[in-house]
Structure 1
Amino acid sequence: MPRIAIVTGSTRPGRVNNAVAEWTLAQLAGRTDASFDLVDINTFDLPLLDEPFPAAYQNYQNEHTKAFSVRIAEFDGYIFVTNEYNHSAGPALVNALSFLNVEFNNKAAGIVSYGSMGGARAAEHLRGALSELQLAHVRNQVMFSLFTDFENFTEFKPTEQNAGTLAPMVDQLVPWAKGFAAVRKEAVPAGA
């Protein structure tokens, strides 16, 4: 059974990102085709990228990077919860992704986004980064509007319509996460 991480995408004080991530985890509690776990990037205290070597080398010098690497490597797939910030994915998530590389290779990803336009622009920009990390991202995505899915822009209360898009996204993600396990077995290690 594949293990899928729900990865938070913000570290800001007062963030609503955790509420969206925790809601996502709660909605998936009854599924039996995968296990789901929350990974809060805020708990790793990742500074602005401070590793001296490219992530693909896995020559990590800092304890925060080593801990993040171990945690992320445990999973077969990911659901990234991203806010839209300046028409792009949130900077904390982009920074966190920049710390690692190989840990994400040949795995599957889904996106839950939110913002004034449902986080559509954040998701599109995030897809480019995920592709570079060799993460296969499913087509279906979940988008929440700050205007209709958040009361007073702070309390997450998803509409039934937008909440209903989570299951179809995960229905795509789980088989991909299973399938990529075989791909990882066949993958040639770097430098081989």
Structure 2
Amino acid sequence: MLKVAVIIGSTRPGRNGEAVGRWVHELAAKRADAEFELVDLKDYALPHLDEAMPAATGQYDRPHTRKWAEKIASFDAYVFVTPEYNRSTSGVLKNAIDFLYAEWNNKAAGFVSYGVGGGGRAVEHLRLVMGELQVADVRAQVELSLVTDFENFSVLHPAAQQEDALNTMLDQVIAWGEALRSLRRPRAA
């Protein structure tokens, strides 16, 4: 069965990302077409990129990088839960992505963003990064507004249509994750 990571892309104290990630995971876990795991960047404590070799070489010297690489390699697809900070994604999410290369390749990704305007600009930046990593990002996305989908900018209460948007995005992530499966199989030497 397809394995999908729901990655919480913020480690900030008082973050909304944990509630959003749990909402995504709770709804996704009701599905029978894939396995979903919540992956919180807070649990990996990745420092600012500290590997001497470029990620594309796959030569990871640091234990934290090897642990992160093993986790990310275990998935077929990803749902990135990202805040929008200053019209982009969080630095911690970009840093975590940059630690690796091949572990991301030939997989699918979807996005759930949140911010005052829904976080769409953070997703625009992540789409550029996904292209470089050979990740097929899907068209459908979820944009949660801190104004309409949160109470007092901090308590998640998604509007009714957000669940439909989430399921549409998950349908696409699963379809693309399955379609790319043959590219992820090890090739005979």
Range class of TM-score, shorter chain = over 0.9
Identify the residue that residue 4 of structure 1 maps to in structure 2. Answer: 4
Does residue 83 in structure 1 map to residue 80 in structure 2? no
Letter in 1 for 2:43: T
Identify the residue that residue 57 of structure 1 maps to in structure 2. Answer: 57
**Distance in 1 of aligned mates of 2:28 and 2:186:** 30
**Post-superposition offset of 1:164:** 2.2
Letter in 1 for 2:105: N
Does residue 170 in structure 1 map to residue 170 in structure 2? yes
SS in 2 for 1:110: strand
SS in 2 for 1:182: helix
**Distance in 1 of aligned mates of 2:136 and 2:174:** 12
**Distance in 2 of aligned mates of 1:108 and 1:187:** 20
1:1-192 residue pairs with structure 2 within 5 A? 1-185=1-185
**Distance in 1 of aligned mates of 2:42 and 2:187:** 31
Question: What's the RMSD between the two structures over aligned residues?
Answer: 1.4
Task: Give per-residue Cα distances to partners, 1:93-147, cap 9 Å, x unaligned.
Answer: 0010000110000000000001111101000011001111111000000110010
**Distance in 2 of aligned mates of 1:33 and 1:187:** 26
**Post-superposition offset of 1:185:** 2.6
Number of residues of Structure 1 aligned to a counterpart in Structure 2? 189
**Distance in 1 of aligned mates of 2:151 and 2:187:** 46
Q: What are the ranges of 5 or more consecutive residues in structure 2 without an aligned counterpart?
A: none
**Distance in 2 of aligned mates of 1:44 and 1:109:** 20
SS in 1 for 2:183: helix
**Distance in 2 of aligned mates of 1:187 and 1:4:** 23
**Distance in 1 of aligned mates of 2:164 and 2:179:** 25
TM-score (normalised: structure 2): 0.96
**Distance in 1 of aligned mates of 2:51 and 2:42:** 18
TM-score (normalised: structure 1): 0.95
Structure 1 stretches of at least 4 aligned residues deviating more than 6 Å after TM superposition: none
Between the aligned residues of both structures, percent identity stands at 49
Letter in 1 for 2:76: D
Task: Give per-residue Cα distances to partners, 1:130-178, cap 9 Å, x unaligned.
Answer: 1111110000001100101111111111111223200001111101111
